[in-house]
């Protein structure tokens, strides 16, 4: 492992501690990935799933649009909210006692990423409260606000998976989470808290296992928000219709966390909650370091989105001075400069953005190496 570095703080980012709530959007959008047919004014119930995406409200189909999802454009249905929250789905209430029941239950909520993590016969269960992107506070705030539910669910999960060692990993800078967890950790003697240095990429499974001195292939890693999703669906038996998203960046007068209905358009959130102090700015989905630069009109809050960064435009790139810094810092030993000038994607790239961060010539290397090219949608 290369030595991990701390990312320098941006003095122009002003993060406020308050959580905003936006749970009554006038419209939401649901990605439709299969050939399901819909007509204008069809009724959509809350908590119905369409190609693994939930309708977080009830209302009427009022149109469709192309949205940016997982690096490509897909069709999405536009639903106009009737504010009735009509749902006809009855969820099970019977306590889950084993892995098979847990998997069955998670399938009902289309949480396939979580199911894929439920490996048997692993000795170590690691819960990461690491917000990798410097100005994202989703994990930290989740643990600070829901520490009792999180600890209870970790205990539940470790019994289901029969894991021997349970570690809750928190950055040593997250004083509020640490204080809250320590106030009740005595009731969970099987859970060990480990404090991590505030270094970039410490939350990556390889790095975390190395820091904790645990074998990667004998470990299962969940984030605190994933544990909270398990709590909601498999202890409370409720659907997930909202999520935390950090909205930050140096083009904003303030950065904040917002609890928002799934399917809400970023444009509506920006209009209601953001004061942008710059005329020209860039929007990045899932962080400045690791995210993709997109057009705000195309972004809908789906389960895949945790952070939106609204930054001043990047300074223009200057000529490469052959300093070698991008190669020296790359954690997977790619030569980003070579890929950039030869215009080749390298599939080994993990998209960490360290090459861009370190480059004195301000060249957008990651965009080429990772293939994060954002194509404008076809009309």
Return d(Cα 259, Cα 10) in angstroms, integer: 24
Indicate which single residue of 33, 323, 345, 373 sits in contact with ligand SF4 (rule: CB under 6 A): 323
Q: Smallest gap, in angstroms, from Cβ of residue 282 to ligand SF4? A: 17
Residue 292 binds to ligand SF4 (criterion: CB under 6 A): no
Judged by CB under 6 A, the stretch of 196-204, 228-236, 239-247, 343-351 that binds ligand SF4 is 343-351
First to last CA, the chain: 45
Give the number of residues in contact with ligand SF4, rule: CB under 6 A: 30
**Separation between Cα atoms, residue 313 and residue 319, nearest integer Å:** 18
Name the one range near ligand SF4 by CB under 6 A: 21-29, 49-57, 265-273, 364-372.
Answer: 364-372
The single residue among 322, 342, 343, 375 that binds ligand SF4, judged by CB under 6 A, is 322
Half-sphere exposure of 222 (CA within 13 A, CB side): 29
Q: What are 33's two structure tokens?
A: 């990935």
Binding of ligand SF4 at residue 320 (CB under 6 A)?
yes
Beta-carbon contacts of residue 79 (< 8 Å; ≥ 6 apart): 27, 28, 29, 30, 44, 55, 57, 59, 60, 61, 62, 263
Does 110 participate in binding ligand SF4 (rule CB under 6 A)?
no
- Smallest CA-to-CA distance from 202 within 214, 193, 211 is with 211
Stretch that binds ligand SF4, among 161-169, 177-185, 298-306, 350-358 (CB under 6 A): 350-358
Would you count residue 371 as binding ligand SF4 (CB under 6 A)? Answer: no
Return the residue matching tokens 């209430």: 93
For position 130 contacting ligand SF4 by CB under 6 A, the verdict is: no
| Residues near 11 by beta carbon (within 8 Å), at least 6 away in sequence | none
Q: How far is CA 190 from the centre of its chain?
A: 28
- Interface segment toward ligand SF4; rule CB under 6 A; list 85-93, 114-122, 170-178, 323-331: 323-331
Site stretch for ligand SF4 (CB under 6 A), options 4-12, 49-57, 308-316, 334-342? 334-342
Is residue 154 at the binding interface for ligand SF4, with CB under 6 A as the rule? no
Q: Is residue 337 a contact residue for ligand SF4 (CB under 6 A)?
A: yes
The site map against ligand SF4 for 28-47 (x = CB under 6 A) is --------------------
Measured from the CB atom, is 218 or 364 closer to ligand SF4? 364
Task: Say whether residue 199 binds ligand SF4 (CB under 6 A).
Answer: no
Q: Which is nearer to ligand SF4, 194 or 323 (CB)?
A: 323
**Residues 14, 253 contacting (CB under 8 angstroms):** yes
Q: Which of 321, 344, 345, 373 binds ligand SF4 (CB under 6 A)?
A: 321
Nearest approach in angstroms of CB 75 to ligand SF4 is 30
Please tell me whether residue 353 binds ligand SF4 under the rule CB under 6 A.
yes
Q: At what angle do helices 138-145 and 175-184 cross, to 10 degrees?
A: 30
Q: Which segments of the chain are extended strands (E)? A: 15-22, 27-31, 43-44, 49-50, 53-54, 59-69, 72-81, 124-129, 165-171, 191-196, 219-223, 242-248, 255-261, 281-285, 292-294, 307-312
Q: Please, are residues 143 and 170 in contact by the beta-carbon 8 Å criterion?
A: yes
150 near ligand SF4, judged by CB under 6 A: no
**What three-state secondary structure class fits 292?**
strand
Contacts with ligand SF4 by CB under 6 A lie at 320-326, 329-332, 334, 336-337, 349-355, 358-361, 363, 365-366, 369-370
């Amino acid at each position: 492992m290369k030595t991990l570095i701390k990312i320098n703080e941006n003095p122009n980012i002003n993060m406020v501690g308050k959580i905003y709530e936006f749970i009554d959007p006038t419209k939401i959008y649901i990605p439709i990935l299969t050939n399901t047919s819909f007509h204008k004014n069809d009724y959509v119930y809350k908590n119905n799933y369409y190609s693994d995406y939930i309708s977080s409200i009830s209302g009427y189909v009022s149109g469709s649009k192309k949205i940016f999802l997982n690096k490509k454009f897909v069709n999405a249905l536009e639903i106009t909210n009737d504010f009735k929250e009509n749902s006809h789905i009855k969820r099970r209430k019977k306590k889950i006692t084993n892995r098979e029941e847990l998997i069955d239950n998670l399938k009902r909520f289309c949480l396939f990423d979580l199911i894929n993590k439920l490996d048997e016969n692993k000795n170590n269960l690691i819960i990461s409260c690491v917000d990798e992107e410097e100005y994202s506070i989703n994990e930290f705030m989740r643990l600070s606000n829901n520490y009792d539910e999180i600890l209870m669910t970790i205990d539940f999960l470790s019994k289901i998976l029969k894991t021997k060692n349970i570690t809750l990993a928190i950055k040593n800078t997250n004083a509020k989470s640490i204080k809250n967890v320590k106030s009740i950790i005595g009731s969970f003697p099987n859970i060990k808290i480990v404090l991590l240095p505030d270094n970039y990429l410490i939350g990556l499974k390889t790095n975390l296992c190395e820091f904790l001195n645990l074998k990667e292939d004998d470990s299962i890693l969940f984030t605190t928000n994933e544990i909270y999703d398990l709590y909601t669906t498999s202890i409370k038996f409720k659907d997930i219709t909202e999520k935390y998203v950090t909205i930050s960046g140096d083009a904003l007068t303030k950065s904040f966390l917002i609890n928002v209905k799934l399917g809400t358009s970023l444009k509506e959130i920006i209009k209601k909650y953001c004061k942008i102090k710059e005329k020209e700015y860039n929007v990045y989905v899932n962080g400045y370091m690791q995210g993709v630069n997109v057009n705000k009109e195309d972004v809908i809050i789906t389960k895949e989105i945790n952070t939106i960064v609204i930054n001043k435009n990047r300074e223009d790139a200057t000529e490469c001075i052959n300093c070698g810094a991008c190669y020296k810092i790359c954690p997977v030993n790619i030569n980003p400069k070579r890929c950039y000038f030869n215009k080749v994607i390298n599939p080994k790239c993990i998209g960490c953005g360290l090459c861009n961060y370190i480059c004195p010539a301000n060249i957008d290397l990651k965009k080429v190496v990772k293939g994060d090219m954002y194509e404008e949608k076809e009309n």
